[in-house]
Amino acid sequence: MAQKNVLKYIILGMLAHRELAGYDIKKLFEEELGDFWYSNHSQIYPELRRLEEDGFIASHTELVGKKLEKKFYRITESGQQLLSAWMEEPLNPPVPTRDEFTMKLYLINSAKDPLVPRLFQEEICRHEEKLQYLQARWQLLFADEAARQEHYGHRCILQQAILREKQRLEWLRQEYAALKQ
Amino acid sequence: MAQKNVLKYIILGMLAHRELAGYDIKKLFEEELGDFWYSNHSQIYPELRRLEEDGFIASHTELVGKKLEKKFYRITESGQQLLSAWMEEPLNPPVPTRDEFTMKLYLINSAKDPLVPRLFQEEICRHEEKLQYLQARWQLLFADEAARQEHYGHRCILQQAILREKQRLEWLRQEYAALKQ
DNA sequence: TTTGGCATGTAAGCCGTTACATGATTTA
DNA sequence: TAAATCATGTAACGGCTTACATGCCAAA
Hey, of B8, B25, B82, B100, which one would you mutate to test binding to chain A, going by the most A CBs within 10 A of its CB?
B100
8 Å CB contact of A90 and B122: yes
Q: Which domains does chain A have, with CATH numbers?
A: 7-88 (1.10.10.10), 100-179 (no CATH)
State whether residue A131 sits within 8 Å of chain B by CB.
no
* Residues B115-128, mean pLDDT to the nearest whole number: 97
- What mean pLDDT is reported for chain B? 95
This prediction's pTM: 0.95
Q: Do B126 and A94 contact (CB within 8 A), yes or no?
A: yes
* Residues A75-101, mean pLDDT to the nearest whole number: 97
- Nucleotides on strand D with an atom closer than 7 A to protein CB? 6-20, 23-26
State whether residue A35 sits within 8 Å of chain B by CB.
yes
Span B142-151, pLDDT tens digits: 988 777 777 8
| pLDDT of res. A95 | 94
Q: Which of residues 79-108 of B touch strand C (CB under 7 A)?
A: 95-96, 98
